[in-house]
Structure formats: structure tokens, C-alpha cells
Chain A
């Protein structure tokens, strides 16, 4: 079965600095990869996805993620962090032609002014 690892429980960055939230995956087959964000006391919101094509995908709120097949990674990035980006971020994976979706444990991002 597919699985996702988010190696960092917590990421702290200063406002205006670039941020990276890491994700690696394990699947048998072609992966579909996703990032979701969860603000306090809110449900999960979809940020972006990789299906096929360009390895760099752009999503909501200025976030982007790079698919790296050789490293089986899909790290989330943003060039300049905002305090309002502080939230819990989840990476998820499913396999082509299979709707079973699995999530990582989440990474709490804190952006300090």
C-alpha cells in the first residue's frame, strides 16, 4: 500500500523568508500527490496536486511543490512566508487508477514576524 512520510513535525521560519515543508512517498505505480492545509479549528483545504506533466506545480496562496521521482519527494515551497501561512500541512498520495488516499502525519508550520 502507498504511504507518505513528513519527516518534520515542526517547521519554523521568519516572515519574508522562503519556506520548505518536506514530503516523501512510497507507492507501487504512478503517484498522484497532494498538499492540504489545515488552519486552526478548520477543515482541510486543498492546496495543490501533481498528476503528470511539469514537475513544478503551483497552487493556492503562492505555494508550489516540486515532484522529484528519483528522490520520491514532493516538497512544498513558498518563496516568501507570511505569518498567515502558519498552519498544519499534510501531504497525501494515491496511485493512478486507485482512489485510496493516504496522508502523512502533518507538519506544523509557524511563521514568526
Chain B
């Protein structure tokens, strides 16, 4: 696609339920990132995928959070047993990552609200 696509754009869920957030990166981009942004705050790094390498999961806040990237393309971020503190905007970005073409392009985000 022309840009990074995230779905859903908004998600309201009840505390304790599981949610899945989807990211469809720009075609051909080998690097994919997930970040979390709480209201008016900075970007919290969650996880980073690079090609077929093992992902860098160092930013995941708890074992309730997991992510996968299938076929080197689409990624899914899963949050199990959601808590109210999980409420935030979840941003996905992708990057070509070679030579001078290193900037990351962001999706519009998924706004997650846990009630």
C-alpha cells in the first residue's frame, strides 16, 4: 500500500479482555516498529522487527504483551487480559532501512481504551 495501515483505528474493550492490533507496513520495508503513546506523552518503544532476525522485545511492558510478524509483512500486537493502564495510542512504523532511506513512516495509530 501507499502508507502504513493500522486497524482498527479505535478500540474500546472491557478490562480483562484480549485485543489484537494490526499493522500493515509499506511494501518492501524490512523494519517494523511498535510504539505506545499515552495521552500527550512521548513514544514508548515496545518491539522492533528486522527481516527474519529475532525481534527486539526489550520494550514490552509485561508478559501480557506479545507481537508477531508473519511472512515479513503484516504484524499483530496482542494484549492479553487488558488493564486500564494499557489505554493509549499504539503506533506502528516501518522503514526500508537501507542506505540513506532510513526514515520510518508511521501509521495513524490505534487508540485503545480499556473500560
Contacts and interface: CB of A to CB of B under 8 A. Distances in A.
Category for how many chain A residues contact B: 20 to 34
Contacts, number: 54
A49 interface: yes
B42 interface: yes
Interface in B1-59: 30-31, 33, 35, 40-43, 45, 48, 50, 56
Contacts of A13: none
* Interface SS of chain A: strand
Interface centre among A32, A43, A51, A90 (most CB of B within 10 A): A43
Interface in B72-100: 91, 93, 95, 97, 100
A94 B33 CA distance: 13
Given A51-B100, A99-B31, A99-B48, A43 B91 contact: yes
Contacts of B105: 46
A102 B45 contact: yes
Contacts of B103: 34, 46, 49
Interface of A: 32, 34, 36, 42-46, 49, 51, 88, 90, 92, 94, 99-106, 108
